[in-house]
Structure 1
C-alpha cells in the first residue's frame, strides 16, 4: 500500500544514492504506513500527512515514503532479510560532543553515534523512530556510521494505566491480588516520618503580632494554636502509594499510584483527562537489571521477561476493568486492552 492509503501495492524502489546520507525507518511488508502516522501523532501534536508519501513528524522533521527495498540494497545497507520498505528521514542534523567511553556498549543510539550523539530535534526524532521500530517490529538505520538498530519488541514490558478513577490502596491491592497473588502493600515497609516542627519566623503570624496589643496577641496565638492542633490531628492527604509483588528469581513487580496534574499528550484530547489523571505504573524490577535490561539479555532473562510481561499485562487489564482509562506502554504508545489477553 502507498503512503496516501491507495491500492497500489507496488512501491518505487529506494535508490542507494538517495538513501545513503539519511536515516531510515525500516519496516516489514505487513506494516501499514497509516500505523506510522498514528504513532507519530502519539508523540507530536503537529504530526500528519503533508501529501502523498510525505509525513510530517514535528517542526522541520518529516518522513518520505515508503520506498521499496530490493535484495541488493538490503545487502548494501546490512538490513534484515525481512526488510521490505523504508521511510527516509528529513531532519536538521544536531550533534553534541563525542560520547564518553563509559556510556558505550549499552545498545541504542549512543553506540550508533560514538563521534557525536544526536541533540535537539534530531535526538527527539531518532528516539521516537527507535520507539516506532520497537512497536512495529522494524529497524532504524542511521546515517553516517550506517549502524542498524533492531530493538526487541518484547523488551517493552512496563505499562501504565491512566484513569479518571482513584482506587484506595486496599482496593487496588485487592484488584491486583488476582493476577499477582504475591502482591502486598509497600507502605507497610516504610516508617512514617514525624512532622517537622512548626517554626514561627517571618510568617503572617509574626507580621500580624508586631502591631497588636497584648490582648489581641494572646487571642491570635490561641486561634493559631487551635488551627495547628486540628491540622496535626487530621490524617495527611494521601497523594500516592505503592504495592509490590515478589516473584522470586524473576524479580519484583512494582505498582506505583499517584495523581498527575497533566495527562500525557496522547490523552489530552479526552474529556476525562483534561484536568489530570491517576497513573497506575506497573514496572519490572529484575534481580539483575544490567543483564535483564541490557541490549542482549541471555535466554534465561528473556524467559523471565516474558513471564513477567504476561503478569504485568494481566495486572493492567485487571486495573483497567475496575478503573477504566487507557493503557500506555513505556514508549508512550497506546496499548490495545484486547491485545493483552493473548497468552
Structure 2
C-alpha cells in the first residue's frame, strides 16, 4: 500500500528507512537472512531528564526525554542500519506513518552488489512485523501486506510415510476434498486438499540439501533436512503476484490461512522440527497455535 509524501526526522535524511513497530528486535529479523548480523555500535537508551510541568499541582515537577543515541547494525559488509530513531504515535501520525509508536532504521550501503538482497530482506521484515519502508525520496510509505505471507514450511529430522502423514493432516483439512497421497520416484510425498471456493492447499515432503539461514542459529536437534512445504494455490494464481488482489482473493486467503497453519501444526506435532514462514523467519509454536485458531 502506498501513501502520500512522508516527512521523517532530519537524522535519517537521504536514506531508505525501515519502519518497525516500537521495540521490535531488528537483530532477530536480520539474522534470519544474514547470519553474521550484529551491532557494530549498540543503541543507547537515554535516561529521562527534567522538564518543567505547568499548573500549581505540578510546580517543581519535571519530566522530559533526552534523545537516545542510535546504534549501527551491520547486515552485510558495506550495509548497515542506523537506529532506532523512535517516534511516538503523535509524531508518527504527523510524519505519515500512522498513529502508533514506531522505530526507524536508516540504511547505509557502500556495496551495490548486496543491495538487492538487503532490499528483499527489508520488504520481508516489514511484512513480517506489519511495518513499512520509506524510500529515500520520501515519496510514499510502502507497507507490504502481512496477509500475503500464507505458506509455511516445517523443517524436520523425521520423514513421515504417506500412511503416517494422511491421518495427521486430514483433520486439519476440514471442509476440503482430500486427495490420495502421491509419492514420486525420488521419495517426495504430496497431499492436496481442494476447497470449493478457495483453491487448494498442498503439503509436499522432500529432502533438501540446503538449509535456510534462519535455522543455522538453532540447535541441530531443532530441525532437519526434511522440508514439509504447505502451499496455497488460489483460484486465480496470478493474484498472488499483484499488489491489489481482488476482494474475492482476499476473502479466500483469509479463510485458507487458518487451514495452512492447522496443517503445519499437525505435521509439526507428528514429526517435530521448526516452522518457517514464506519470508524465511522462524514461527514459534505459540505463534503457530495462534495462527491456527485465529478468527477468520
CA distance in 1 between counterparts of 2:241 and 2:167 reads 30
How far off is 1:147 after superposition? 3.7
1:45 aligns with 2:45: no
Number of equivalences: 253
- In 1, are the aligned partners of 2:93 and 2:100 still within 8 Å (CA)? no
How far off is 1:140 after superposition? 0.5
How far off is 1:250 after superposition? 0.1
Given candidates 203, 210, 213, the residue that maps to 1:265 is: 213
1:285 aligns with 2:230: no
Counterpart of 1:171?
164
How far off is 1:168 after superposition? 0.6
- In 1, are the aligned partners of 2:81 and 2:105 still within 8 Å (CA)? yes
Q: Which runs of 4+ in 1 moved over 6 A?
A: none
CA distance in 1 between counterparts of 2:193 and 2:15 reads 45
- In 1, are the aligned partners of 2:92 and 2:101 still within 8 Å (CA)? no
How far off is 1:172 after superposition? 1.3
How far off is 1:256 after superposition? 1.1
Counterpart of 2:26?
36
CA distance in 2 between counterparts of 1:19 and 1:83 reads 17
Q: Which has the larger radius of gyration?
A: 1
Deviation string 1:133-191 (CA, Å, 9 cap, x unpaired) is 11111101112463421011111100000000000122212211110143223528xxx
Given candidates 298, 301, 311, the residue that maps to 2:249 is: 301
| TM-score, normalised via structure 2 length | 0.77
Deviation string 1:234-253 (CA, Å, 9 cap, x unpaired) is xx6x4312111001210000
Counterpart of 2:196?
248
CA distance in 1 between counterparts of 2:235 and 2:92 reads 42
CA RMSD of aligned residues (A): 2.5
- Cα separation, partners in 2 of 1:290 and 1:64, compared to 1, 3 Å: same
Counterpart of 1:203?
none
How far off is 1:68 after superposition? 2.6
| TM-score, normalised via structure 1 length | 0.67
CA distance in 2 between counterparts of 1:283 and 1:313 reads 10
CA distance in 1 between counterparts of 2:80 and 2:212 reads 22
Structure 1: give runs of 5+ residues left out of the alignment: 1-13, 95-119, 193-235
- Cα separation, partners in 2 of 1:298 and 1:82, compared to 1, 3 Å: farther
